[in-house]
Structures are given as structure tokens and as C-alpha cells.
Structure 1
Amino acid sequence: MKVLMVEDEPRFASSIVMGLRAEGFVVVHVDNGVDGLWEATEHQFDVVILDIMLPRLNGYEVLRRMRAREVWTPVLMLTAKDGDYDQTDAFDLGADDYLSKPVAFIVLLARLRALLRRGAPQRPVVLSAGTLTLDPARRVVERDGAPIELTPREYGVLEYLMRRKDVVVTKQEMLQHVWDAHYSGPDNVVEVYVGYVRRKIDTPFGTNTIQTVRGAGYRLDSGEYRSGS
């Protein structure tokens, strides 16, 4: 099995590379995001170990560009325990698995083997609601072909609603699936982000895709059940 490791901490990388080679893996190691992206897109690997905080190009951007080029190799992301990005953000941005440093080699090995058994994911289906589309593979949102720029959290809110279009979802459900199951802050953060998303996907286009259901939550209207349609 061939592994690409993109990691800029020399001692950590050396120990992991030595351990993997001792387990029979073929390992290619690079120490920056630009070289990591080149290796991941120009050569075939069974799995990629990708640090987030990398020089030249961060891990999230490496992953985004990999998927944009339709490279579906499973990716295990690594980050410092006190880093700027949390687990939710990693999965929101397309990681297949996630580990915080420091990590025991035996745990990392088990996660890698699990990803290898699972294999490369299939290209996600493009989600749509009327003229609004969301491509999970490229993380691209468009309305009538016009691109819409969203932050990672706004994207997470919209994707969750689009996967459950025409169904009422509660604030608590959104907090658990878009933020974190252990989030303990105020639930009005959902209202704030729904407002942000509306101002980008609806307001400029004169549409009303995300509807508030008083006392219940929110519903993304696909337009498929309107009378006369």
C-alpha cells in the first residue's frame, strides 16, 4: 500500500514514516502543501496523511484542490490539539478522518487501515433545489450558474439543509450536525448563520429558498411541492 504523508514537523514525520515502512507501507513524504498537492494529483496513492498547518499551502486548500481535480484518495487530516481548526471544520471541508496531535502510532495505523478497507469514496452527487446547486465534491455553490462564495460554516449550514430539503429541521439538529454534538453555546448562532446564507443565496436573486417555520425550525424549499408545479 502506498501512502503520501504531507507533514512539516521533521521529528514527527520521521517517526511516522519509519513506523509505516516497518509495517510494509510504501511512503512518500513531503514537507509543504505545494509539493503535497503535486504528489497527490500527479501520482496514485492509497491514502494521504495531511497536516493542516503547512507552509506554502495549508492542508484544507490542498484537500479542496484535490477534490476539485476529482482526486478521491482517502485523506486523514492531522492538526495540533490547540490548533486553529477543530474536528467539525475538518469534516465540513471534506476530510475522511481526523486525528489530533500528539497521536499514538498504533492509533494512526488503525485509522489508516480502516480507510484503506473503505477505499476511495465515490464522487458525491450534486445537490439541487430549483436553480440552486451545491457540488459537494468541488464545494461549489451556484444559482442559475452564478457562483456563490460561502464560508466553511455557511457551506455546512446550506449543505445540511439541502440534504434535507422540504423537511423541517430544528436548531438543535443543526447545532449537532453542523457545529458539534457537544456545542454548549447559545442556539441563536443558527439564526445568525441562516441569515448569512440567505443574504447570499436568496437576497441577490429575489428568491426565498430557506423558510422559517415558527416554533419548529427551518425548511429549505425545493419548489417541487408548490401548487401548480
Structure 2
Amino acid sequence: MKRILLIEDDEELAELTAAGLSDHGFDVEWTSNGHEGLNKARSVQPDAIIVDRMLPGLDGLGIIRALRNEEIQTPVLVLSGLSKVEDRVRGLRSGGDDYLTKPFALIELVARIEALLRRPADTRQTSLQVGALELDLIERTAKRNDREIDLLPREFRLLEYMMRRSEQLLTREMLLRDVWHYNFVPDTNLLNVHMGRLRHKVDRPGETPMIYNIRGAGFILRETAGRTAVAPMRALSH
């Protein structure tokens, strides 16, 4: 059972959140004070932390900065009523791994925590690069060489997932589970529609293709054209 440390001074919200997380199989420890929360983060060694931005004693960003200065890399999700872009950027640049604005749906909070817990320990990056393709995880921007790529939020998450796993075959099941958080494979062309839009944006006419469809298997993001990943080139389509 994964242990979650919840640092939230709104008692009613904390009780509802803790109960919901417990229903999804998490062991939740709750505190309402910033200083106490920081001490618990050090001592109980949670698998993930959910911290309110505004707290008595020590605010959420202060807690995160203190942990990162001590090289404690526990994944942290920031909860806040502040929803402006600059507020989200400040939360992430302070060392937070994710940022969720209030009010929020419990199912989304659970999905985000599950995603944080699936990440390898060495993925605390602010940017990703695969060949000419670059992704800024803070500003949420993408470009290929000097060309800006305008991505919708779901497209950004899909591309981030693929870039973290470049040269790997990504099945439909993996993509629907980890990007859409489905626990089953729905009978829908949802993935094909999004992937088609993403490929159109990433691979423009005249550019070397980077996203390939392995027919009947899944998709691959490749840094270099012409390399064989898991199937012969005749099985690839673009």
C-alpha cells in the first residue's frame, strides 16, 4: 500500500480527500500545518506528497524548496486555488512535480497521484529532447528545430509520454492506460484521432518523420529515421 502525506489546512476538504484516497487503496497521513508537514515528509518517508499552496506556519512552496534543498525527491503534487499560468509555473519551478487547481475532481487527483508514482525516480526534468524535438515541461511548449509546435493539452501529454520512451514500441493499451487513464481498451478511434493530429504537427512536409505507426502493434517515436526498432521497415507506416 502506497503512503500519501496530505498537507492541507482545510479540514473538511482534507477529510474528503483522505477518505477518497483511502477508498482507492492509499494509506493517507494528514497534517494541517506547514512546519509539521515538513517534519512528517522527512520522517515518515511517504511515496508521494499532496501539499496545499497556502498553509499556516510554512507555505507549500516553502516545504517543497526545503525538501529539494535536502535532496529529498519525493514526488509532490501542489493543490491551490491560484490558477494563473504564472502561479502554476512558480509551483513547478519550486520543485513541485504536478499542480492541480481547486476545486478539483477526486478521480483526477487519484489519476495524477498514480501517474506520479509510476514515474521512474530520475525523471525530475524540466525539459525533454529527442533529436530535433524539444519539450519544455515548465512552460508547456514544444518545438522542432526552430519551429514552434502548437499542442493541445492532451497532445502535449501524449508527446511527453512518447519522448520519455523514444525508440520503444508503445501499444494502444499502454497509451490508453497511461495517457488517458483507462483500465480497459475502449472500442473507439480516440487514440487514432489524437495520434493523427500529433503526427501532422510534429512531422511537417519535407521533414524526416519521427512518429511511426507499427501496424497492428502500436507507435514509435524515433530520433533517427531508418533504424529498426521492433519490426522490419516494411511493417512501418507514416
Smaller-chain TM-score bracket: 0.5 to 0.7
User: 1:165-180 residue pairs with structure 2 within 5 A?
Assistant: 165-180=166-181
Secondary structure at the counterpart of residue 72 of structure 1: coil
Other-structure match for 2:148: 147
User: 1:1-229 residue pairs with structure 2 within 5 A?
Assistant: 9=10, 12=13, 16-17=31-32, 21=36, 40=61, 44-46=65-67, 50-51=78-79, 54-57=80-83, 62-67=87-92, 69=93, 71-73=94-96, 82=105, 85=108, 87-88=110-111, 96=116, 123-124=124-125, 126-136=127-137, 138-183=139-184, 185-203=186-204, 206-223=207-224, 225=226
1:68-113 deviation digits (Å, cap 9, x = unpaired): x4x2246686866746845445777xxx57xxxxxxxxxxxxxxxx
2: distance between equivalents of 1:30 and 1:165?
Answer: 34
1:92-136 deviation digits (Å, cap 9, x = unpaired): 7xxx57xxxxxxxxxxxxxxxxxxxxxx97742743333211244
The residue type paired with residue 158 of structure 2 is: V
Displacement of 1:140 in angstroms is 3.1
Distance 1:121 1:210, change over 3 A: closer
Secondary structure at the counterpart of residue 170 of structure 2: coil
Structure 1 range deviating more: 207-216 or 79-88 = 79-88
Displacement of 1:180 in angstroms is 1.5
Secondary structure at the counterpart of residue 203 of structure 1: coil
2: distance between equivalents of 1:65 and 1:146?
Answer: 26
Distance 1:148 1:23, change over 3 A: closer
Displacement of 1:194 in angstroms is 0.5
Q: Is the 8 A contact 2:203 2:210 kept in 1?
A: yes
The residue type paired with residue 78 of structure 2 is: L
Distance 1:194 1:83, change over 3 A: same
Task: Kindly indicate whether structure 1 or structure 2 has the higher relative contact order, using CA contacts under 8 Å at least 6 residues apart.
Answer: 1
TM-score normalized by the length of structure 1: 0.57
The residue type paired with residue 61 of structure 2 is: A
| C-alpha RMSD over aligned residues | 4.9
Structure 2 unmatched runs, 5+: 15-29, 42-50, 68-73, 229-238
Displacement of 1:40 in angstroms is 2.8
Displacement of 1:62 in angstroms is 3.5
Other-structure match for 2:47: none
Structure 1 unmatched runs, 5+: 98-119
Distance 1:196 1:55, change over 3 A: same
2: distance between equivalents of 1:141 and 1:91?
Answer: 25
TM-score normalized by the length of structure 2: 0.55
Q: Give % identity.
A: 25
Distance 1:65 1:44, change over 3 A: closer
Give the length in aligned residue pairs. Answer: 191
